[in-house]
Amino acid sequence: MEKMNHAFEKVKMLVGMDVEDEESEAAATGENNSSFAFMDDFNRQCTLSTKQRLYGFAICLSAGLFCTLLSMLVFFNPIKFGITFTFGNLLSLGSTAFLIGPKRQVHNKLLTLIAIILEFGALIWYSLSYIPFARTMVSKVMVACFDTEF
């Protein structure tokens, strides 16, 4: 029963609901709080209400879109363009951390691996565009290797 209560409290934390005071529960049941990890304690102290999460999401997303649009004004200055465009994208991506939390967003290993593979493939494909007929050759080789019709 104790493990189920602990799991329920973690779910409450992830959703953003207020968690009951652990110290008063521990004093009442005689349990020790040392079994909780530092990150759980930190997350418990930094919970935001649903309204605060939505405000944070809206503000970060708006600021990110504003910076991205602002970068179009300085398009011909590469340094300013790169800084404002990158900052705008980071703000836009970071805005979703208000909705589900940064820990759940960053630590999905399967999606990270898929993104790395796709990025590496895009880099290779882009590099092949500078070699005459390289894309055509690679496309024909891939079709020949993976063609299932005989």
The predicted-structure confidence for 74-96, as pLDDT tens digits, reads as follows: 999 999 999 999 999 999 988 98
* pLDDT, position 61: 95
pLDDT over threshold 70, residue 46: no
Cβ atoms 104, 14 nearer than 8 A: yes
pLDDT over threshold 90, residue 2: no
**Would you state the structure tokens that stand for residue 71, as one six-digit string?**
């970068």
Other CB atoms closer than 10 Å to residue 92's CB: what's the count? 18
Cβ atoms 44, 66 nearer than 8 A: no
Residue range 123-132: average pLDDT? Answer: 91
Whole-model pTM? Answer: 0.50
Closest by Cα among 58, 57, 59, 87 to 71: 87
